[in-house]
Amino acid sequence: MDFLWIIATFVAYFVKGLSGFANTLVLTSILGFGSNNVNISPVELVVGFPSNIYLTWNNRKNLKPRIIIPLALMTIVGSIPGAFLLKHVNAAAIKVVFGVLIILIGIEMLLRNSGKLQIKESKIFLFIIGLLSGVFCGLFGVGALLAAYVGRFAKNSSEFKANMCAVFVVENAFRIILYSVIGVITWSSLKMSLILIPFMALGIFAGTRSSSKLKDKTVMTIVDILLILSGVSLIILNV
């Protein structure tokens, strides 16, 4: 077991416990220089599944079916082509474009949540975000676009985490089956995942405890900043 994987897992899931997402991008940013995405994604998927179940249950009073159901369906539809692209395509150029898109959305959310920008929502725009979020979840396991979508409806950090992670639970379950069928999840990646789960649990615990000490507005600002940093990370790792 590479010690770097342990450190990366703890840090990634500390961020997850704090903000509700960004664990994949943190993990990929730390491990991306030495491991291929096709090796990181299946491990992160299996490790992340129980974390999403926990955060959904922990914030269950804030679940909103009107957010979860359509977004879960769109991510499932998008995950199918994304998973096949993961196995057969060199996705570096796609990641760069995706990184730019995330940065722009993150800046827009940061300005909007601070009251400096007011834009009327477009249902077509939200549908495109939902569908693309599924493609990129299947391709990279990255939920940044899901965060951009859910962040437009969530009134506080608990509501954000509840609905974000509920969509992840559905998407993760579907993708675990899909990855297993097409051979992306292997016995080797499964064994690595089981070893890393305790370090994920420690990170989630530390992150949620830290989140409970912060104001909702502060946590949501952290979410917006993490979106921007996620995009920057994707570009740097793939240019």
Question: Mean of the pLDDT values across residues 136-153?
Answer: 70
Report whether 195 contacts 189 (CB < 8 A).
no
Look at residues 10, 22, 11 and name the one whose alpha carbon lies nearest to residue 222.
Answer: 22
Q: What is the pLDDT of residues 82-134, one digit of tens each?
A: 667 666 666 677 777 777 877 887 787 777 767 665 555 567 776 777 777 76
Task: Return all residues near 159 (Cβ < 8 A) that are at least 6 apart.
Answer: 59, 62, 64
Evaluate whether 145 touches 105 at the Cβ level (below 8 Å): yes
- pLDDT tens string 5-63: 999 899 999 989 988 877 887 887 777 666 666 678 889 889 999 999 999 999 999 99
Which helix or strand (DSSP H or E) is residue 100 part of? Answer: helix 92-113
* Chain centroid to CA 65: 19
Predicted local distance difference test score (pLDDT) of residue 224: 77
The closest of 160, 182, 163 to 171, measured between CA atoms, is: 163
Provide the angle, in degrees to the nearest 10, between the axes of the packed helices 123-140 and 157-182: 50
The tokens describing 72, both together, are: 């879960």
CA angle, 224 as apex, 223 and 229 as ends, to 5°?
95
pLDDT over threshold 70, residue 142: no
Q: Are 167 and 70 in contact (CB under 8 A)?
A: no
What does the DSSP 8-state code read for residue 17?
A: H
Which pLDDT does position 169 carry in this prediction? 92
State the DSSP string of 107-175: HHHHHHHTTS------HHHHHHHHHHHHHHHHHH---HHHHHHHTTT-SSHHHHHHHHHHHHHHHHHHH
Rounded Cα distance between 56 and 32, Å, is: 28
pLDDT (tens digit per residue) in 155-170: 888 898 999 899 889 8
Of 131, 129, 138, nearest to 175 (Cα)?
138
